[in-house]
Amino acid sequence: MDFQVVVLAGGTSKELIPLVSNEVPKALLPVANRPVLSYVLELLEQNNLKDLIVVVEGEDAALRVGGWISSAYVDRLHVEVAAVPEDVGTAGALRAIGHHLTAHDILVVSGDLVCDVPPGAVAAAHRRHDAVVTAMLCSAPVSGPSDSASSGGKDKAKKPGRYNIIGLDPTRQFMLFIAAGAEVEKDVRVQKSILRAVGQMEIRADLMDAHLYAFKRSVLQEILYQKETFHSLRQDVLPFLVRSQLRSELSFDGAQAEENGNDKAASLDNKVMLSQLMANASSQSFHEHGAMGPNGFVPFPRKTHKCCVYIASKNKYCARLNSIQAFSDINRDVIGEASHLSGYSFSAHNNIIHPSAVLGSKTTVGPQCMLGEGSQMGDKCSVKRSVLGRHCRIGSNVKVVNSVIMDHVTIGDGCSIQGSVICSNVQLQDRVVLKDCQVGAGFVVSAGSEYKGESLAKK
């Protein structure tokens, strides 16, 4: 298909402190005891996309990610790991590796994406419409614990997130408007020229931009080099392409089209019949209509480009690990409703207990739980809807609910852990109580301590 694949793996994301560190960059955060990046790499491998550029922010992080890829995917994938400066953003990361991009089209995938939507479907839609960009949209995931009896903050009910406001044409194939980030809270303002051309627009607030894009390479490079202040694909590049699609300033054939942000299309007033608009709205593309002159003729056609969408089916799983809450939600989902993504075989009790793990007397590990290799639990412990990593040492009378415990964690007798994330090499002394907390790597929580809603990490 002549697509070049770029995976944007990030670095040590500030939104994920204290889970991330110099030793554990974002791409290596565990989801069901596997690095989150493995989910994207295996999705690409399953779709026969095996020649990849993985972009990592920071030299140290790139070395760690590259080392893991080399050991885990030897003879399976051909991966070039490229280090870029930290905090350059997604647009800046692509700008930094622009000289590596040579194919006609580029498939850009976020390394924190956990999903089962085939990237080939996005690529096919992109080629079918000869688009400059095609964005994959999926149902916005719900956030929070799986039932009202579990923890997860003040609001214990699962609720859908509000990620974007997106305007679609009646065929739901083209993007007419997108607001992301802080723009979501502002009034929706849509260019008249686009509304005139398409006739009507469907506004959606229940869709998430999955950060899986197909770009026409020449267009992507042109924007990145001409718009040097653009930092983000989602908040800068994509909205720019959507806004300008009926007055394209892209130089497809080398000629620069004139940009006019003010709307000269006002001359269309009272000259385009409603029947013409509605007929156009049901056609394959409204762009041909938008390219016409004021009287519907094409003596001086405007330059246009197409911004397409691929909307994943609602029965597909799609989430991004871009916050601490998302980290907890995705871990719970991958050993729960999306267990087909885990790559593991579940027991008759709907859980995963490694054969080398040891359970004490009267200790129970419930459904939708995972206990990693070499971990040991004492007597009378209870684990519910949680992931426990490798080589953990857990005392007696310990309760773990809706939590993620990483590798080499030591937990003393009588501890209670609810709705929390415990990073590797942490030591919880006896009778510690944690609710809705995050504990950074290597931290020691002293005996008898009680914390709620705290982030605990080494200074």
- Interval 401-432: pLDDT, tens: 999 999 999 999 999 999 999 999 999 999 99
Buried (b) or exposed (e) across 8-30, using 16+ Cβ within 10 A? Answer: bbbbbbeebebbbbeebbbbbbb
Q: Can you tell me the mean pLDDT for 292-320?
A: 76
pLDDT at 44: 96
* pLDDT at residue 341 greater than cutoff 60: yes
99 CB-near residues (< 8 Å, 6+ apart): none
Q: Is 295 exposed, middle or buried (0-12, 13-18, 19+ CB in 10 A)?
A: exposed
* Cβ(32)–Cβ(387) below 8 Å: yes
Question: H helices then E strands: how many in the chain?
Answer: 10, 35
pLDDT confidence of 261, banded at 50, 70, 90? very low
Distance CA 20, CA 11 (A): 9
pLDDT at 53: 97
pLDDT at 248: 72
pLDDT at 152: 40
* pLDDT at residue 25 greater than cutoff 80: yes
Distance CA 287, CA 115 (A): 32
* Cβ(388)–Cβ(400) below 8 Å: yes
* pLDDT at residue 199 greater than cutoff 90: no
- pLDDT more than 70, % of the chain: 80
Pairing mode of beta strands 364-365, 382-384:
parallel
Q: Can you tell me the mean pLDDT for 58-74?
A: 95
Q: Can you tell me the mean pLDDT for 310-330?
A: 95
* pLDDT at residue 280 greater than cutoff 70: no
- pLDDT more than 90, % of the chain: 70
pLDDT at 4: 95
Distance CA 257, CA 247 (A): 8
Name the residue with higher pLDDT: 267 or 190.
Answer: 190
Distance CA 32, CA 35 (A): 8
* pLDDT at residue 108 greater than cutoff 90: yes
pLDDT at 73: 94
pTM: 0.85
Least confident of 277-281, 318-322, 353-357: 277-281
236's tokens = 């800068």
Q: Can you tell me the mean pLDDT for 433-455?
A: 97
Runs of H (alpha helix) within 287-421: 287-290, 324-334
Name the residue with higher pLDDT: 369 or 183.
Answer: 369
